[in-house]
Amino acid sequence: MQQIVRRAKIIGTGSYVPDQVYTNEYLETTINTNAKWIYNSLGIKERRIADKDQATSDLAWQAGLRAIENANLHINDIDLIIVATSTPDRLAPSTACFVQDKLKAYNAVAFDIAAVCSGFLYAMSVASQYIASDVYQNILVIGADTFSKITDWNRRDAVFFGDGAGAAIVSQANPNEGFLAYRLYSDGRGKENFTVPAGGSAMPCDSTTLENGLHYFKMNGKEVFNTAIKVLPKAINQVLADTGLTVNDVDFMIPHQPSVNILKKTAEIIGLPFEKVMTNMDKYANTSGGTIPILMDELNKKSILKPGHIILFAAVGSGWTYGAAIIKWS
């Protein structure tokens, strides 16, 4: 379904990554992998890893606090907190309630969104709808994940992910700025290509699931690659068509960070020069829900994003979930 939202914009950003760094060279010493292969195939040099006692909400809380400060708001101004995560602190309650309590943002309603790597995009679209309908005024949207907690560190697919959180404050915009369009898609036929088999109601954790490592993620890398380079261009071309813009109007693309080769191929298909595609997976790898807001915060703090810029967001994740959005920065 097409959604056009003209009145929501981003008034502040923040991010937080844990201090601990795992370099490719370090992983070479622990698993059967190759530092050069990781960099050439994925664009990753290192990733941040949460401490044992750091939960997703700890990262999300810090990112949220920084976004609130960047927007010059008070904690009590926040009336909704949405946390996009697929590594929640617990099955119940929501991670958003943990974040609310850590922030002491008791004026806010709080809930989670689960769309894996597309989570932040989905969450921003929900926030924009609440702004458009005047239900909430200052919405804290956070993308946060700690995939290190669902990684089998003895397997070589441990190279793909890192931990991190990013946040944005979504508020009311003037008519000629802010989000111009969103396109979101889901396709449950892709559900087995990246999944955590155990720990939910379909397969509660027990000694057998633990023994078989079913509480760790499993991923079909080839299928992720082949799907991503099909669905990202589809979503991007559609959202451009919705706004009447062309790819030449795009100043920057702030995409999810699955692998540099997925982004290069996507840019080639849509005809966007790769210099306009922003990346930071060399430092952080794929932080799932965290990728887009961490990157957006970096670019915002470096004043690379300027008023009037047309910014394209795009993401693909397990489910499948995917989509794109366009904002006129202000």
Ligand X SMILES: CC(C)(COP(=O)(O)OP(=O)(O)OC[C@H]1O[C@@H](n2cnc3c(N)ncnc32)[C@H](O)[C@@H]1OP(=O)(O)O)[C@@H](O)C(=O)NCCC(=O)NCCS
Q: Name the residues annotated as catalytic.
A: 117, 256, 286
CB of 185 or CB of 225, closer to ligand X: 225
CB of 255 or CB of 258, closer to ligand X: 258
Does the protein bind ligand X through residue 137 (CB under 6 A)? no
Q: At a CB cut-off of 8 Å and minimum separation 6, what does 211 contact?
A: none
Q: How does strand 8-16 pair with strand 163-172?
A: antiparallel
Give the integer Cα–Cα distance in Å for 82 and 24. Answer: 33
Of 254, 6, 311, nearest to 129 by C-alpha is: 6
Q: At a CB cut-off of 8 Å and minimum separation 6, what does 52 contact?
A: none
Contact residue for ligand X among 185, 221, 264, 309 (CB under 6 A): 221
Contact residue for ligand X among 3, 23, 33, 243 (CB under 6 A): 33
Give the integer Cα–Cα distance in Å for 259 and 63. Answer: 23
> How many CA atoms, within 13 angstroms, populate the side-chain half-sphere of residue 27?
29
3-state secondary structure at position 131: helix
- Binding flags for ligand X, 274-293, as an x/- string (CB under 6 A): ------------x-------
CB of 181 or CB of 228, closer to ligand X: 228
Does the protein bind ligand X through residue 34 (CB under 6 A)? yes
Does the protein bind ligand X through residue 118 (CB under 6 A)? no
> Does residue 256 contact residue 314 with C-beta atoms inside 8 Å?
yes
Residues in the chain: 330
CB of 282 to ligand X, least distance (A): 14
CB of 218 to ligand X, least distance (A): 11
Contact residue for ligand X among 37, 106, 153, 274 (CB under 6 A): 37
Give the integer Cα–Cα distance in Å for 138 and 34. Answer: 45
- Binding flags for ligand X, 152-191, as an x/- string (CB under 6 A): ----xx-xx-------------------------------
Does the protein bind ligand X through residue 224 (CB under 6 A)? yes
In single-letter form, the type of residue at position 219 comes to: M
Interface positions, 192-211, toward ligand X (CB under 6 A): 194
> Does residue 255 contact residue 313 with C-beta atoms inside 8 Å?
yes
CB of 102 to ligand X, least distance (A): 28
User: Apex CA 290: angle with CA 286 and CA 293, to 5°?
Assistant: 120
Q: Site for ligand X (CB under 6 A): how many residues? A: 20
Interface positions, 299-328, toward ligand X (CB under 6 A): none
CB of 78 or CB of 315, closer to ligand X: 315
DSSP state letter for 267: H
Does the protein bind ligand X through residue 213 (CB under 6 A)? no
Of 322, 267, 266, nearest to 292 by C-alpha is: 322
Interface positions, 225-264, toward ligand X (CB under 6 A): 225, 258-259, 261-262
Binding residues for ligand X, per CB under 6 A?
33-34, 37, 41, 117, 156-157, 159-160, 194, 219, 221-222, 224-225, 258-259, 261-262, 286
